[in-house]
């Protein structure tokens, strides 16, 4: 159960990896920590890699919606969610997306790493290389 974060402030970017068993508390801990570090950043790109999640049996729709709303209004932020193509995780990701769309510029869900990197980096080759190196 857990998460790791890697901030690249020079790019206005954060890479978050979720792994193991993920429940409502894990997500709330992540968002609380993340909110403290990014309070004053008006424009950020977030990349959340969910491919190493092994179990979401204790993750609830209510918890996902609460976490999506907890970070607050960030109208210039972009979020890419990279997930495994499993029905339960897809459903939770869609719930998160729907709950957070009003607070962000855009939220997209991907199952292919290269597509997610291409979308979130928007042509920033240095950032794309850094993400690829960190994930692999």
Q: How far apart are CA 17 and CA 2, in angstroms?
A: 8
The residue whose two tokens read 């193991």 is 20
Whose tokens are 């995780």? That residue is 89
**Domain locations in the chain as residue ranges:** 2-35+42-135
User: What is the pLDDT, as a whole number, of residue 128?
Assistant: 92
- 3-state class (DSSP) for residue 127: helix
Q: Give the H/E segment covering residue 74.
A: strand 74-82
Instruction: Give the tokens for residue 81.
Output: 């969610």
**The listed CATH number (3.40.50.720, 3.30.750.24, 3.40.50.970, 3.90.226.10) that belongs to domain 2-35+42-135:** 3.30.750.24
Compute how many other C-beta atoms are within 10 angstroms of the C-beta atom of residue 36: 8
Alpha-carbon distance of 46 to 31, in angstroms, equals 12
Q: At what angle are helices 24-38 and 61-70 packed, to 10 degrees? A: 0
How far, in Å, CA of 33 to CA of 98, rounded?
22
pLDDT tens for the 136 residues of the chain, in order: 588 888 888 888 999 898 999 888 888 888 888 777 777 777 889 999 999 999 888 888 888 777 777 766 777 888 899 999 889 889 888 988 888 888 888 999 999 999 999 999 998 898 899 888 888 7
Predicted TM-score of the model (pTM): 0.88
């Amino acid at each position: 159960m857990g998460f790791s974060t890697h901030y690249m402030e020079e790019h206005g970017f954060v890479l978050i990896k979720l792994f193991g068993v993920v429940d409502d508390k894990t997500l709330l801990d992540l968002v609380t920590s993340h909110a403290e570090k990014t309070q004053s950043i008006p424009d950020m790109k977030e990349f959340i890699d969910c491919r190493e999640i092994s179990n979401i049996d204790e993750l609830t729709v209510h918890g996902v919606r609460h976490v999506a709303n907890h970070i607050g209004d960030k109208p210039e932020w972009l979020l890419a969610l990279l997930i495994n193509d499993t029905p339960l995780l897809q459903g939770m990701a869609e719930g998160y997306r729907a709950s957070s769309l009003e607070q962000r510029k855009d939220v997209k869900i991907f199952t292919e790493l290269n597509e997610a990197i291409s979308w979130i980096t928007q042509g920033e080759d240095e950032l794309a290389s850094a993400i690829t190196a960190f994930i692999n």
